[in-house]
């Protein structure tokens, strides 16, 4: 079948297109506000941060806030800023990679097979999303302590592997976007289950993988790690930046630089992932 | 004879079950890593804290079994809990459905845009969620003195005479919490809708044109929505858990506890008992009740979504 051209689609009115653009622009301003604010605040000199009436946009941009921030971070103690940076990067990378692999494997069999216990297990996963985290902290800590994982990176990485949201998203995605006939055909051709999973299923759910990656990076990167880790050199970047912000009014500038600094990695990954997701539709032509 | 029959039937059943399990060996192999970690770090803590809800547990001494006392006190003797329930239901009833529908509508509208600007549009709408703690700027915007953006502009334009204490006056607190919560509602559900819209096979739309679908509304109803069913289910669960778990916004904007408990929610009540008063048993009972309500709500919504497009 011929592909619809990337240009105008036959059943779209031009007035409708304009309407869509206008609605999105009005609401977009409302939602983009924090981003605009955070970027501007990070470059404001101290007198502009406290100006009355308050102004959203920066007038005399300066990078003083950033130099203040790094000065404070390096002055803080024996543990260097790069150590915190490494901790966070390591936990985020390993945790995200493991989560995508382990959650996708489980999601694949839950989406495509019925076996004893599969329905109950999946129900448990969706239900687990609804239990408030505040009261499970104590039992969670006891389990970590029993395993001897307190004060290790694993206390953050391993639980992240099994985040219920990831499995839920993956399973829903695989159920709707992978035709059963495709899997059957591959098996008739002699492909093993691992092969089917790796070279047929995974490429087809690329948008879900990328979305999962965003969720996982976001939660791990913003994790201060202070629940299970009390040795300072093993704590994460947000912990180091929070201590800067806690220094009072005089550090408002450095704190706003810290906010923006924390957003750089998730934002970059987000934009890369989203442009990839948008691309996939153009290339994936599943024909039954 | 009937007993023998029954016994034989049981035996056969067990035999079939065992065969079924053996046939799906690979499935269990795929599921195992996830299942082990999930049971250890997600299921076990939940079960333990449900058990705590039947005890008096002050974190320092070992828990002592007290039966249903926590639940009885919660429902019959705790006036503040009733305020919290009322507020939580109000927040959930508004931010849940509105946030959910908003997430889908914006995802769909963004999908209507030309491909080149879609990624940026997604970023703009996802900004509140990706910026983490940045929602705290609402406390600057609605700050009670004239340094608050909202008060400053209102006074400057002459719409208001005096600054209003948006975050400490019980008359306005709930409205602000709801607005901010709605603003935060384009999260996981929204991104899953974006991903889902990108995987609907193009030939379904092509077939639609041939079958006489004339405008984007018909396309939405007959092709897009039925294809999005599984993503919509995911989004619903996320919307439920986000709206019923409202706590951070209320605590950070309106204070903890808020004036007259006007922005007190079930989860802030739970945090109050669990982390301030160290009554973990009572806090666990609150969590269990909240969990039961969310579970029922989810059951109901999943049933409704099953009927979509049929």
**Annotated domain spans of chain B:** 77-306
User: Which among B132, B153, B227 has the least Cβ separation from residue A262?
Assistant: B132
Find the range with the poorest average confidence among A18-32, A174-188, A240-254.
Answer: A240-254
Q: Do A134 and A31 share a domain, yes or no?
A: no
Task: Find residues 206-235 of chain B whose CB sits inside 8 Å of chain A.
Answer: 206, 209, 213-216, 218-219, 227, 229-231, 233-234
**Residues A146 and A270 placed together within one structural domain of the fold:** yes
Largest CA distance in chain A: 73
Q: State residue B73's pLDDT score.
A: 92
Confidence grade of residue A10 (pLDDT, cut at 50, 70, 90): low
CB contact, 8 Å: B280 with chain A? yes
3-state helix, strand, coil in chain B (%, to 5): 75, 0, 25
Q: Sorting pLDDT into bands at 50, 70 and 90, what band is A283?
A: very low
Domain that holds residue A159: 72-283
Q: Has residue A98 got a pLDDT over 90?
A: yes
A174 interfaces chain B, CB cutoff of 8 Å: no
pTM to 2 decimals?
0.88
Write out chain B residues lying below 8 Å of A262, CB-based. 132
Share of chain B above pLDDT 90, in %: 38
Domain boundary among A30, A62, A94: A62
CA distance B24 to B4: 30
Q: Does residue B247 carry a pLDDT above 80?
A: yes
Q: From the CA of A137, how many Å to the nearest CA of chain B?
A: 8
Residue A176: inside a domain:
yes
Q: How far is A263 from chain B (nearest CA, A)?
A: 6
Residues A247 and A266 in one domain: yes
**CATH match for B77-306 among 3.90.1200.10, 1.10.10.60, 2.60.40.420, 1.10.3720.10:** 1.10.3720.10
pLDDT at B190 over 90: yes
Cβ proximity of A215 and A223 under 8 Å: no
Per the CB < 8 A criterion, the answer to whether B227 and A176 are in contact is yes
Look at residue A288 and tell me whether its pLDDT is greater than 50.
Answer: no
Task: Please confirm whether the linkage preceding B91 is cis (ω < 30° from 0).
Answer: no
> How many structural domains compose chain A?
2
> Residue B143 and residue B233: Cα distance in Å, rounded?
38
C-alpha triplet A120, A123, A129: angle, nearest 5°:
145
Is B202–A285 a contact, with Cβ atoms under 8 angstroms apart?
yes
Please say whether the beta carbons of B123 and B266 come within 8 A: no
- The count of C-alpha atoms lying within 13 angstroms of the C-alpha of B196, restricted to the half-sphere facing its C-beta, is 31
Shared domain for A79 and A107, answered yes or no, is yes
A47 touches chain B (CB under 8 A): no
In angstroms, what CA-CA distances link A96 with A169, B123, B147?
Answer: 15, 21, 41
**A214 neighbourhood in chain B, CB within 8 Å:** 191
Q: Could you tell me if A32 and A86 lie in one domain?
A: no
Instruction: Indicate the SS3 state at residue A141.
Output: helix
Residue at A2 is within a domain:
no
Mean pLDDT of chain A: 85
Residues A151 and A187 in one domain: yes
At residue B287 the predicted structure's pLDDT band, cuts being 50, 70 and 90, is: very high
A19 reaches B (C-beta below 8 A):
no
Q: Are residues A195 and A221 in the same domain?
A: yes
CATH number at residue A88: 1.10.3720.10
- For residues B35-60, one letter each, b for 16 or more C-beta atoms within 10 angstroms of the residue's C-beta and e for the rest, the string is bebbebbbbbbbebbbbbbbbbbeee
A88 plus A191 within the same structural domain: yes
CB B287 within 8 A of CB B53: yes
């Amino acid at each position: 079948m011929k592909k619809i051209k990337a240009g105008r689609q036959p059943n779209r009115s031009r007035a409708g297109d304009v309407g869509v653009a206008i609605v999105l622009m009005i609401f977009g301003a409302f939602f983009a506000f924090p981003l605009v604010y955070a970027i501007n605040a990070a470059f404001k000199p101290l007198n502009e941060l406290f100006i009355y009436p308050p102004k959203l946009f920066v007038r005399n941009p300066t990078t003083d806030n950033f130099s203040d921030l790094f000065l404070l971070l390096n002055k803080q103690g024996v543990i260097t800023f790069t150590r915190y940076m490494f901790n966070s990067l390591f936990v985020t990378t390993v945790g995200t990679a493991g989560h995508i692999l382990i959650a996708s494997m489980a999601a694949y069999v839950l989406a495509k097979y019925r076996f004893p216990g599969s329905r109950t297990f999946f129900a448990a996963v969706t239900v687990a999303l609804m239990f408030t985290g505040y009261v499970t902290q104590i039992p969670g800590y006891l389990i970590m302590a029993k395993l001897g994982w307190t004060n290790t990176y694993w206390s953050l990485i391993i639980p992240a592997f099994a985040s219920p949201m990831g499995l839920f998203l993956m399973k829903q995605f695989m159920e709707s976007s992978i035709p059963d006939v495709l899997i059957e055909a591959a098996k008739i051709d002699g492909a093993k289950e691992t092969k089917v999973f790796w070279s047929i299923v995974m490429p087809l759910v690329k948008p879900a993988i990328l979305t999962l990656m965003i969720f996982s990076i976001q939660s791990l990167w913003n994790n201060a790690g202070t629940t299970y880790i009390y040795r300072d050199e093993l704590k994460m970047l947000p912990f180091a930046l929070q201590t800067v912000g806690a220094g009072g009014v005089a550090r408002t500038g450095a704190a706003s630089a810290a906010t923006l600094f924390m957003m750089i990695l998730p934002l970059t990954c987000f934009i890369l992932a989203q442009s990839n997701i948008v691309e996939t539709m153009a290339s994936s032509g599943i024909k039954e | 004879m009937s007993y023998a029959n029954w016994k034989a039937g049981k035996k056969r059943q067990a035999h079939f079950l065992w065969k079924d399990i053996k046939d799906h060996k690979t499935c269990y192999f795929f599921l195992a890593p996830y299942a082990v970690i999930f049971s250890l770090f997600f299921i076990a803590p939940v079960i333990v804290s449900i058990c705590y809800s039947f005890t008096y547990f002050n974190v320092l001494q070992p828990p002592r079994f007290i039966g249903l006392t926590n639940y009885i006190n919660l429902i019959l003797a705790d006036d503040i809990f009733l305020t919290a329930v009322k507020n939580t239901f109000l927040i959930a009833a508004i931010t849940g459905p509105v946030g959910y529908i908003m997430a889908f509508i914006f995802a769909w509208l963004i999908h209507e845009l030309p491909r080149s600007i879609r990624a940026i549009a997604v970023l703009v709408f996802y900004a509140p969620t990706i910026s983490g703690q940045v929602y705290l700027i609402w406390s600057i915007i609605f700050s009670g003195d004239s340094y608050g953006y909202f008060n400053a502009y209102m006074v400057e334009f002459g719409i208001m005479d005096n600054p209003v204490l948006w975050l400490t006056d019980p008359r306005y607190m709930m409205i602000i919490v709801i607005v901010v919560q709605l603003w935060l509602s384009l999260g996981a559900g929204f991104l899953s809708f974006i991903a889902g819209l990108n995987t609907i096979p193009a030939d379904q739309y092509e077939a639609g044109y041939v079958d006489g679908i004339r405008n984007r509304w018909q396309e939405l109803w007959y092709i897009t929505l039925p294809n999005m069913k599984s993503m919509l289910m995911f989004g619903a669960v996320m919307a439920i858990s986000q709206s019923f778990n409202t706590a951070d916004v209320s605590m950070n904007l309106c204070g903890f506890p808020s004036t007259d408990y006007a922005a007190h929610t079930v989860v802030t009540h739970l945090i109050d008992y669990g982390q301030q008063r160290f009554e973990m048993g009572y806090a666990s009972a609150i969590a269990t009740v909240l969990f039961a309500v969310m579970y029922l709500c989810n059951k109901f919504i999943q049933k409704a979504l099953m009927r979509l497009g049929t």
